[in-house]
Amino acid sequence: MPVEGATAQVAGIIPARWGSSRFPGKPLHPLAGKTLLRHVYERVSACEQLALVLVATDDERIAREANSFGALVEMTSSEHPSGTDRIAEALQNHPDITHAINIQGDEPLIEPSLVDSFAAALAADNDLPMITAASPIVDLAQLTDPNIVKVVIDHDGWALYFSRSALPHLRTQPEGFTPLRHIGLYGYRRDFLQQFVAWPPSSLEQAEHLEQLRALENGTRIRVLLTDDHSIGLDTPEQVPQLEALLAANGSP
157-211 tens-digit pLDDT: 999 999 999 999 999 988 888 999 999 999 999 999 999 999 999 999 999 999 9
Residue 235: pLDDT band with limits 50, 70, 90: confident
Q: Cβ(84)–Cβ(193) under 8 Å?
A: yes
pLDDT tens per residue across span 2-25 = 444 458 999 999 999 987 667 788
Q: Is residue 50 part of a domain?
A: yes
Q: Which residues lie across from 205 on neighbouring strands? A: none
Residue 2 is predicted with a pLDDT of 45
Give yes or no for residue 97 having a pLDDT over 70: yes
Separation of alpha carbons 38 and 228, rounded Å: 24
The mean pLDDT of 233-237, rounded to a whole number, is 81
Q: Which amino acid makes up residue 39?
A: H
Give yes or no for residue 30 having a pLDDT over 70: yes
The mean pLDDT of 132-136, rounded to a whole number, is 96
Residue 128: pLDDT band with limits 50, 70, 90: very high
Query: Residue 116: which CATH number?
Result: 3.90.550.10
Residue 5 is predicted with a pLDDT of 41
Separation of alpha carbons 145 and 20, rounded Å: 21
Give yes or no for residue 232 having a pLDDT over 90: no
Q: Is residue 33 part of a domain?
A: yes
Residue, of 247 and 84, whose pLDDT is higher: 84
Q: Is residue 66 part of a domain?
A: yes
Give 31's contacts (C-beta < 8 A, 6+ positions apart): 39, 108, 234, 240, 243, 244, 247
Q: Is residue 2 part of a domain?
A: no
Q: Is residue 4 part of a domain?
A: no
The mean pLDDT of 230-239, rounded to a whole number, is 81
Separation of alpha carbons 137 and 148, rounded Å: 10
Q: Is residue 41 part of a domain?
A: yes
Total domain count, the chain = 1
Give yes or no for residue 233 having a pLDDT over 90: no
Q: Which residues lie across from 136 on neighbouring strands? A: 180
pLDDT tens per residue across span 31-57 = 888 999 999 999 999 999 999 999 999
Residue 187 is predicted with a pLDDT of 98
Residue 52 is predicted with a pLDDT of 95
Q: Is residue 243 part of a domain?
A: yes
Q: Is residue 28 part of a domain?
A: yes
Pairing of strands 150-153, 72-75: unpaired
Q: Which residues lie across from 151 on neighbouring strands? A: 162, 180
Residue 119 is predicted with a pLDDT of 97
Whole-model pTM: value is 0.92
Residue 1 is predicted with a pLDDT of 41
Give yes or no for residue 231 having a pLDDT over 90: no
Q: What is the rounded average pLDDT for all residues in the chain?
A: 92
Domain holding 76, by residue range, is 10-249
The mean pLDDT of 74-78, rounded to a whole number, is 94
Q: Cβ(234)–Cβ(108) under 8 Å?
A: yes
State yes or no: cis peptide before 241, omega within 30 of 0.
Answer: no
Q: Which amino acid makes up residue 165?
A: S
